[in-house]
Amino acid sequence: MVYVVSDEVQPKNGGPRMIVTGFSNGMVECRWYDGYGVKREAFREDDLAPTEEERERLQG
């Protein structure tokens, strides 16, 4: 799936809900709040899936 900045995603193997903030070197950059602070990490596109809410928004 192709993501755009502001899409809500989460790792396919489970994990936090994150917001796509950019792209770099073929990776999808994401940020999320873990209860203590804002975290950021880059993921391979294949390792991410849209959240249920994001899927509904895209379909409707």
Counting every residue, how long is the chain? Answer: 60
The DSSP result for 17-36, as a single string, is: -EEEEEEETTEEEEEEE-SS
Contact between 8 and 18 under an 8 Å Cβ cutoff? The reply is yes
Contact between 54 and 8 under an 8 Å Cβ cutoff? The reply is yes
pLDDT at 8: 96
pLDDT at 39: 97
pTM score, whole prediction: 0.88
pLDDT per residue as tens, the chain (60 positions): 789 999 999 999 999 999 999 999 999 999 999 999 999 999 999 999 999 888 888 787
Chain position carrying tokens 């917001």: 19
